[in-house]
Structure 1
């Protein structure tokens, strides 16, 4: 970690606006506190130890990861309470065991009988009682088993009777990203809550333990009005937010804490284009807003100070070149508007995907100083 200033950074560079990030962290923690549940942030968005430290300092209990390499890295940085929230593949059980043997309180998940049997068989062979949560499908978005399926109880019995610790149930309402009104998000938050609680109650009704009931996505976490029966809330992208979350309706552009600093390197004057050095290798190929109410191209163009320039988008991207243009009528004198050497900031469609393009973040404090924070990569 070292300090510098914004004008000394090479471009493209991933910037974190620290006052915005801290405000976002406080907002989500206050929501969890108000709903009476523990908050376990998903750190896959940032994969950055100083960001996770800020979340824990604000009141978070443990973290959620999407890779075991993340678990390794955060455990090395002193975080012990870690939930690996991707279905456990059998070939990763050796890695999970090694983490637990080193003192990491690692929790794993499954949503199938085959997965449960593999965990239980491996655990018995190695004398390890893995703590396992069962993933519940409450919205048909991705993984999990439905709360009413017979397989839920079968999986629970395989884990419990096989000597594992049945830690509870969890769900993720990923379809919330497709919504854009508070009422629709609140309804999905209730569907998420009710489905996960139903699964927990079914396990308990047959004498199986279910201490943890874990729910969450950034939109449903922020729009939930009650979490009766839930013990834990999870969310990730809220810490930075992005243009997809803006379109969903849970943040403003001035809440978006991640941007890409870029430099104007040329023009196509007849087309009204400014060419910048942030292409899809910097922004990612994520075009998540293309199917939403407002299409931001590859990102919203802002001044170097982070003020959005209405109507100006990163409208195209090659590997190392980005195209800045104005929606509607082309910029008549683009070279005057954006001279070569001008620095701009681009707000991303998807903070997780854009962050993943960079090995480090540059954390910009309110006083203009910049700290460089490493970011974890790989699996």
Structure 2
């Protein structure tokens, strides 16, 4: 099916861009001499993840048990579940391991560590548990220099679990936009996680894995001494937030939403399209960056950004595209005739992707193949 035949709105993947993005990251990791474990939460798509593994990735990262189950059923065994495990999810983790999945789980506090150990003993299972450390104050994790790190690791080891490694995520990198600041944060991320691993080893608790990662810091890292692996996810699609951060160009963004012009509000200068927040999401990730793209950047059908126009608003099934001051003299009915198909680049690829059960993978000729993008937890 050609993309012009697709019913709108729908999610498009530009396959040449996807393949280029995968190669770019993998080659960078190869140069730095580390294992690359891509995060599958952005795509939630078997075809995309298989392409990442074919390029040289080793294992995957997931953020839901559903992801772990689906990717294991597709033959992928080396899986890291990178969210602090809750007790309610331990039976599903056990089931995966009993089926042969090399699943690693994560904790970042004493209570979670205790629950894992108690469940493991009750079911004669020695879970491999990684410990999350906080290297930038962004979200979760234990202080890599604090006593709690050793307390949690000791609880796990004495409680019958295997301490598999330490992990961190420099999510605050999304707030930066200069090479110097990104490089500094990448080094802070590396140094903090390496410190945590070193402290465990010095305490007699074997720590074989030091895992860092975010798309911006992965690209910004000058070296990764002491790191065993890197995780990143949004790089495979990129988005407008990543463009503002400075790690991709507009023509690297591989995910877009195909939409159709369904009307005009001439007195307001608005172009109405059939992609609202149900197709784009409500994510306004660029609002606090140096350039605000509203709800997305309109492009022509062949993917070229349309200068001077932004998706300024969304209702459930309506999107509003409007010109900036420099374009307000243009006749919008002539520039965007009724029935015109457009692509909208998203602020946040993960959020926009989550609105769609199918990704239409388009080759250079515009031929589209449906790839399932699964949902749920």
Q: Which residue of 2 aligns with 1:128?
A: 125
The correspondence of residues 89-104 of structure 1 with structure 2, limited to 5 A, is 89-104=86-101
One of 289, 300, 305 as aligned partner of 2:302: 305
Match of 1:255 in 2: 252
2-structure distance, mates of 1:65, 1:155: 23
Q: Report the secondary structure of 1:213's partner residue.
A: strand
Task: Give yes or no for contact 1:135–1:169 (8 Å, CA) kept in 2.
Answer: yes
Q: Which segment is superposed worse, 242-251 or 308-317? A: 308-317
Of 227, 236, 240, the residue aligned with 2:237 is 240
Q: TM-score, normalization: structure 1? A: 0.98
After TM superposition, the structure 1 = structure 2 runs for residues 56-71 of structure 1, keeping only pairs within 5 Å, are 56-71=53-68
Residue 80 of structure 1 corresponds to which residue in structure 2?
A: 77
- The equivalent of 2:199 in structure 1 is 202
Distance 2:236 2:276 in 1: 24
In the alignment, the residues of structure 1 paired with residue 318 and residue 329 of structure 2 have an alpha-carbon distance, to the nearest angstrom, of: 19
Gaps of at least 5 residues in structure 1 are: none
Query: 1:27-67, CA deviations, whole angstroms, 9 ceiling, x for partnerless residues?
Result: 11011111111000001001000000000000000100000
1:212-231 paired onto structure 2 within 5 Å:
212-231=209-228
Counterpart contact for 1:272–1:331, Cα < 8 Å: no
Where does residue 351 of structure 2 map in the other structure? Answer: 353
Between the aligned partners of 2:17 and 2:46, the Cα distance in structure 1 is: 18
Q: State the alpha-carbon separation in 2 of the partners of residues 128 and 330 from structure 1.
A: 66
Q: Compute the displacement of 1:98 (Å).
A: 0.6
Partner of 1:155: 152
Aligned length: 376
Shift of 1:330: 2.4
Runs of 4+ in 1 over 6 A off after TM superposition: none
RMSD over aligned Cα atoms: 0.7
- CA displacement, residues 218-274 of structure 1 (integer Å, 9 cap, x when unaligned): 000001000000000000000000000000000000000000000000000111111
**2:283 and 2:328 mapped to 1: Cα distance?**
24
Deviation per CA, 1:46-91: give whole Å up to 9, x if none.
Answer: 1000000000000000100000011111111111110000000011
Q: How far, CA to CA, are the matches of 1:194 and 1:165 in structure 2?
A: 23
CA distance in 1, matches of 2:161, 2:314: 49
Equivalent in 328, 331, 334 of residue 333 of structure 1: 331
CA drift of 1:290 comes to 0.6
Superposition map of 1:140-151 within 5 A: 140-151=137-148
CA distance in 2, matches of 1:150, 1:320: 51
CA distance in 2 between partners of 1:125 and 1:331 (Å)? 72
Q: What is the aligned partner in structure 2 of residue 270 from structure 1?
A: 267
Contact 1:284 1:354 in 2 (8 A): yes
Distance 1:196 1:179 in 2: 20
Which of 170, 175, 183 lines up with 1:186 in the alignment? Answer: 183
Distance 1:94 1:153 in 2: 26
Shift of 1:331: 4.8
Once the two structures are TM-superposed, the CA of residue 338 in structure 1 deviates from its matched residue by 0.5
Q: Deviation of residue 332 (structure 1)? A: 3.6
Tell me the TM-score normalized by structure 2. 0.99
